[in-house]
Amino acid sequence: MNTISESSRARLDSLMKIGIGVGVLGAIGVGLGLAQNVEGNKLQFLQSYLYAYLFWLGLSLGSLAFAILHYLTGGRWGVRLERILQSGMGTLPLMLLLFLPIWMNMQELYPWSRPGAMDSALMHKKVFWLNAGGWTTRIFVYFGIWLACAWFLTSRAKKKDVTGDQNADSGVRFLAGPMIILHVLAVTFAVIDWAMSLEPEWFSTMYGVIFVAGQGISTLAFAVLICAWLRKDEQFGKLFSSAHFHDLGTLMFAFSMFWTYTSFSQYLIIWSGNIAEETPWYLHRTGHGWQNVAIALVVLGWFLPFLLLMQRKIKKQAHLLVGVAVIVLVARHFDLYWQIGPAFHHDGFHGPHWMDLAMPFAIGGFWVALFAWLMKARPITNNQVEMIHAEAHAAHH
């Protein structure tokens, strides 16, 4: 099976069209919200944009992380995700382009970039990192690392497809260790630059890993949705078996625990230390209405996935696991919204703005369209995958 079947091509074609449609509708929605009052809503536009951007960037980066990770660990879970992950990381050039509005409005978003903001003794010590030149340079460093890794992985996989040489990607296996370290470092520093520095006085060393975990679980949830959808095609019905969903469900469970563990640890340490440089971040996020978002996040991000993914019968059935995946994706939005929103609204939470709701669709529509277009370009499985599947099938009787 070295070519993509007509029916799956048609499926991906329709996914692409749906993506573009949703993207255009979302953009119109955002445009209407902005048009009401361009000057007054500009800051709202930017913060909605930042949180939605970080959500979708998370799927691109999570795809890259899992693809590298699979070279390190191997395992059945990743074999059938290969193309999904490669198409996910293929959206990185789009995400670089979409970073433009954030870069152009640096001063609106990031207090440290405004004149005079770094004059205090404490902030003065951070100037070496938080300055416009360094921040701009680092955008290219981060994306350079990600794009290079993604290009390396994808080009070797393509070579493997074309030549049929199963050792075509041995170089990737050799470099996967250094790549995953570089990737996690890049994500850590990127979210420090793009999200943590919204409140430049505050700092947390746990911050980056919370994002890594969040990107991980949202990528798995997205993969579950795509697998469940591809599975409706007869060609893939057998490929995406209940054992495959069980694997993904178990990984989702682990990443949900990981995210909860890191998020709570950051809170517990700052709560215990109780020092004035650190606590305001949580005080803003657990009061004035933001506590409701926090509680919803605990329920959606930890409690429900923990309780549901504990059960094997849910993990084994695609349609049930899809439900959990949707909860996880909604929770990821709550997480980013709760991390970013209060930086602009110390006065309290007054309900989401219209653009907060439309923006994830505006960016996501185009992200999904590009994803589907990349999926369509190459076979979803290769011969090796088929072979492994045949073996697994025999072993499972």
Partner 1 sequence: MSSPQANAAPIYGYLAEFDDKDALFACAKAARARGLTEIEAYTPTPLHGLPEILGYKNYVPHMVFMGGLIGVLTGFGLCYWVSVLEYPLNIGGKPFNSWQAFVVPTFETMILFASLTAVFGMIILNGLPQPYHPVFNVEKFARCSSDRFFFIVLSRDPKFDLNETRRFLAEQKALSVDEVPH
Judged by the rule CB under 8 A, the positions of this chain that interact with partner 1 are: 264, 267-268, 271-272, 274, 310, 312, 395-397
**Distance in Å, CB of 268 to partner 1, minimum:** 6
- Amino acid, res. 301: G
Q: Helix or strand or coil: residue 275?
A: coil
Q: Answer for the pair 47, 340: CB distance below 8 angstroms, yes or no.
A: yes
State which residue, 103 or 271, has the beta carbon closest to partner 1. Answer: 271
- Comparison of 219 and 260: residue with beta carbon closer to partner 1: 260
Neighbouring residues of 143: CB distance < 8 A, sequence distance ≥ 6: 92, 95, 96, 99
- Cα gap 70→394, rounded to integer Å: 23
Q: Which helix (H) or strand (E) holds 215?
A: helix 207-230
C-beta separation of 142 from 95 below 8 A: no
Nearer to partner 1, 97 or 395 (CB): 395
| Minimum CB distance to partner 1, residue 395 (Å) | 8
Residue 254 sits at the vertex; the CA angle it makes with 265 and 196, to the nearest 5 degrees, is 40
Q: How many angstroms separate the CA atoms of 345 and 287, rounded?
A: 11
Which residue, among 24, 95, 103, has the nearest Cα to 358 in the 3D structure?
24
Backbone phi, then psi, for 136, in 5-degree steps? -65, -45
Nearer to partner 1, 257 or 357 (CB): 257
Among 53, 29, 59, 54, residue whose Cα is nearest residue 41? 29
Q: How far is the CB of 247 from partner 1 (least distance, A)?
A: 13
AA identity, residue 119: D
Complex with partner 1: residue 107 or 311, whichever CB lies closer: 311
Identify which of 392, 378, 397 has the alpha carbon closest to the alpha carbon of residue 84.
Answer: 378
User: Nearest approach, Cβ of 347 to partner 1 (angstroms)?
Assistant: 26
**Dist CA 391 CA 24 (whole Å):** 45
Between 309 and 380, CB nearer to partner 1: 309
Shortest distance in whole angstroms from residue 181 CB to partner 1: 29
Task: Pick between residue 174 and residue 306 the one whose CB is nearest to partner 1.
Answer: 306
- Closer residue to partner 1, CB minimum distance, 203 or 282: 282
Shortest separation between residue 295's beta carbon and partner 1, angstroms: 14
Output the smallest distance, CB 264 to partner 1, in A.
Answer: 7
Measured distance CA(307)–CA(322) in Å, rounded: 15
Closer to partner 1 by CB, 167 or 274: give it.
274
CB of 274 to partner 1, least distance (A): 6
Residue among 397, 392, 395 nearest 80 (CA): 392
Q: How far is the CB of 230 from partner 1 (least distance, A)?
A: 24
